[in-house]
Amino acid sequence: MSSLADAQVVRRPHVRATRSIGWGGILAGLLWLGAATLTALWPNADDWAYTDGLAAAEAMLGAGLLLSGGLGERLPRLSARTRGLAPWLGLLAAVFGAWELATAKLELLPRPFFAPPQAFIEVYLDDWPRLGDSVLHSLWLLTTGYLIGALGGFITGVAIGWSRVVGYWVHPVLRLVGPLPATAWLPLAFFVFPSSWSASTFLIALATGFPVTVLTWSGIAGVNSAYYDIARTLGANERFLVLKVAIPAALPHVFVGLFMGLGASFSVLVVAEMLGVKSGLGWYLQWAQGWAAYANMYAALLLMALMCSGLITLLFRVRDRALAWQKGLLRW
């Protein structure tokens, strides 16, 4: 059975953890110390704030890695983690060093379009109130629109999949309107809705709703008919068939729709914020570009990437819980 195979997989890192010194961690630590030295001692071509701060942070990371590599026996859990991350951390040290060289030290890349690493620190420390506000606004808009769209799409999908009458009336509308990119509604939405915020919520809901509807519908339509026969012979009524048989059986499809909807909602969010809404990360990007504040733009892009990745991760967690019964789930 599968438990045997699992046990073998789990045991492997354990065996390797008996090796006392983590050379990978030590190498990555040395690389970071190198990057720190380069940042601190090589004079900047121009005036950049927080150069020393960057060097200090790099040095601390390097020292930490050295310690965890050397003290593998004392801190087995920490050293096991850094062992896995060491190749990536080493590569990142090299990238940071090269980046620092190409921008702040040698100015090989044209200014002001490329910012050195310390410029990120400057943006995050100086402009955090505005950035934080933008993140919160983006999250609030996205969450509202996404939840409305996901819920509406799910209910519509179940209804179309279950009821022939609903299918008859809704299917043609869905076929005509669904494939239209939600952003095509932008001009109309901005003058029909009372505020740009409500218009954007609607557009995000629309972009989310279509894939969720179609995949929920196909999930419900594809349920093994034997599942219904069994429930019916055991005395199930219609309500039980929908809630306890059709929906759980369709859930894997529903989650595919939810992932597609989340991706679509990100792009609508950014477009809506760039074109109408006066807050949020999309707006911040536009604003930073307008002032030629490219460092701010990169910093906001990084935040946006973290936000989107975080939301996808969150959805994966939800799915892992809801579909824990499936075997061979993809791990994000």
Partner 1 sequence: MVVAEKHVEVLPPRALALDIEQVSHQFSLHGAPLPVLDQVDLHVEAGEFVALLGPSGCGKSTLLRLVAGLDRPTQGRLLVDGREIGKPDPSRILVFQAPTLYPWRTVWQNVAVGLEARGLLPAENRRVDAALDLVGLRAFAKALPHQLSGGMSQRAALARALVNDPSLLLLDEPLGQLDSLTRITMQGELVRLWQRAGFTALMVTHDVEEALLMANRVIVFSPRPARTTASLTVDRPYPRHRDDPALQALRQEIFDLLGFAEA
Q: 50: which DSSP letter?
A: T
Q: Does 227 engage in binding with partner 1 (CB under 8 A)? A: yes
Burial profile 282-297: b = 16 or more Cβ within 10 angstroms, e = fewer = bbbbbbbeeeebbbbb
CA–CA distance, 26 with 58 (Å, rounded to integer): 14
Among 42, 44, 232, 307, binds partner 1 (CB under 8 A): 232
Residues 167-206 that bind partner 1 (CB under 8 A): none
Among 7, 234, 290, 331, binds partner 1 (CB under 8 A): 234
Among 9, 41, 226, 330, binds partner 1 (CB under 8 A): 226
Q: Does 251 engage in binding with partner 1 (CB under 8 A)? A: yes
Q: Least distance to partner 1 from the beta carbon of 141, Å?
A: 34
Q: How many CB atoms lie within 10 A of CB 194?
A: 7
CA–CA distance, 242 with 227 (Å, rounded to integer): 11
Tell me the window of 52-60, 63-71, 74-82, 230-238 that interacts with partner 1 (CB under 8 A).
Answer: 230-238
Q: Does 237 engage in binding with partner 1 (CB under 8 A)? A: yes
Q: Does 330 engage in binding with partner 1 (CB under 8 A)? A: no
Tell me the window of 51-59, 101-109, 110-118, 241-249 that interacts with partner 1 (CB under 8 A).
Answer: 241-249
Q: Least distance to partner 1 from the beta carbon of 236, Å?
A: 4
Among 233, 290, 321, 331, binds partner 1 (CB under 8 A): 233
Q: Does 12 engage in binding with partner 1 (CB under 8 A)? A: no
Q: Does 320 engage in binding with partner 1 (CB under 8 A)? A: no
Q: Does 77 engage in binding with partner 1 (CB under 8 A)? A: no
Q: Does 2 engage in binding with partner 1 (CB under 8 A)? A: yes
* Residues 6+ positions from 74 with CB-CB distance below 8 Å: none
Tell me the window of 185-193, 265-273, 283-291, 319-327 that interacts with partner 1 (CB under 8 A).
Answer: 319-327
Q: Does 9 engage in binding with partner 1 (CB under 8 A)? A: no
CA–CA distance, 286 with 196 (Å, rounded to integer): 16
How many angstroms separate the Cα of 197 from the Cα of each of 150, 186, 193? 18, 12, 9
- Specify the 3-state DSSP secondary structure of 64: helix
Tell me the window of 177-185, 187-195, 221-229, 270-278 that interacts with partner 1 (CB under 8 A).
Answer: 221-229
Tell me the window of 75-83, 117-125, 177-185, 223-231 that interacts with partner 1 (CB under 8 A).
Answer: 223-231
Counting Cα atoms < 13 Å in the Cβ hemisphere of 56 gives 5
Q: Least distance to partner 1 from the beta carbon of 220, Å?
A: 15
Q: Least distance to partner 1 from the beta carbon of 324, Å?
A: 9
Closest CA to 329 of 255, 247, 224: 255
Burial of 182 per CB tally in 10 Å (0-12, 13-18, 19+): buried
Token pair 């219609």 in the structure block, residue: 238
Q: Does 321 engage in binding with partner 1 (CB under 8 A)? A: no
CA–CA distance, 283 with 300 (Å, rounded to integer): 10
Total of chain residues touching partner 1, rule CB under 8 A? 24
Among 6, 111, 326, 332, binds partner 1 (CB under 8 A): 326
Hey, what are 181's tokens? 């990119």
Q: 185: which DSSP letter?
A: G
Residue type, 110: P
CA–CA distance, 197 with 181 (Å, rounded to integer): 19
Q: Which residues bind partner 1 (CB under 8 A)?
A: 1-2, 224, 226-227, 229-237, 240, 244-245, 248-249, 251, 323, 325-327
